[in-house]
Amino acid sequence: WINYKPMLSDDEIYNLCMTFLTMGHENVATAISWFIITLAENPDVQDEIREELKPSNDRNPTPKSTKLVSSFYETMRLFPSVPALTRMSTKENIVNGYKIPPGYEVFVPIYSTNRDQEVWGEDNEDFNPSRFKDQNKCPYFSTKGLPDAISFGVGARACLGRPLSMVEMKATITTLLLKYQISSKRSEKTKANNFVSLRPGKHEISFTPIPSVAKM
């Protein structure tokens, strides 16, 4: 212990703590906020998820919903909490004929990539959760079989908090949908504001109790 030499400097530890605070709180809250807004603006999808979430008579106390997960991924495709990220090249690479020397910073435009019509088709701007249901149809699928619209990053430096964010999302949205009908009071779609994270613009959401479901 006397000869111990820390692997990280004080500045690096401070920066990591700030990253955990920002990514683990603000980004998750932003993602769930966008999901609530998206469900409010798409009541048909909301009803389908609620139907899947209704408690069953089997011994599994945790409701499962493929529609819930695919809808969340589609929300993250359209409204990624982190709209862009940067990576440092560690060796020379050639991408689409362009040479990238080592030590260069590469900008990855997540927001625009997730809406690229050449990748996602003519409905690239539409909310369509079904695109994430079939691995053979979705343009992006990670090596672990998880649908990726690069919203969580990719590779060795992908988001470490992805599993936790999924648990938090499921717990929050399941609780809300089983008790409330969520609706938007505005006719136009909510626009995004980019301030560190991609935050929702002006919106009005109402939560109406569902007595028959809330008592279950």
- For the record, the structure tokens of 34 come out as 């966008």
Q: Residue 99 class from Cβ within 10 Å (0-12 exposed, 13-18 middle, 19+ buried)?
A: exposed
Contact present, 195 and 32 (Cβ < 8 Å): no
Query: pTM for this structure?
Result: 0.79
What's the pLDDT score for residue 182? 95
Contact present, 129 and 120 (Cβ < 8 Å): no
Contacts of 52 (CB under 8 A, 6+ apart): 63, 64, 65, 66, 67, 68
What's the pLDDT score for residue 46? 93
Contact present, 176 and 207 (Cβ < 8 Å): yes
Contact present, 33 and 200 (Cβ < 8 Å): yes
What's the pLDDT score for residue 215? 46
For tokens 């798409």, the residue is 42
Pairing of strands 205-209, 180-184: antiparallel
Task: Please list, residue by residue across 167-183, b when 16 or more beta carbons sit within 10 angstroms of its beta carbon and e when fewer do.
Answer: ebbbeebbebbbbbbbe
d(CA 215, CA 31): 28
DSSP symbol at 189 = P
What's the pLDDT score for residue 23? 65
What's the pLDDT score for residue 206? 94
Residue type, 216: M
Average pLDDT per run of 10 along the chain, which is 216 residues long?
63 79 77 94 93 63 71 91 87 90 90 88 91 68 58 73 81 92 89 82 90 55
- For the record, the structure tokens of 192 come out as 């995004």
- What number of CA atoms fall less than 13 Å from residue 67's CA on the CB side? 16
Write the pLDDT tens digit of every residue in 149-187.
677 777 777 776 777 788 888 889 999 999 999 999 888
Tally of CB atoms within 10 A around 78 = 21
What's the pLDDT score for residue 61? 41
Contact present, 82 and 109 (Cβ < 8 Å): no
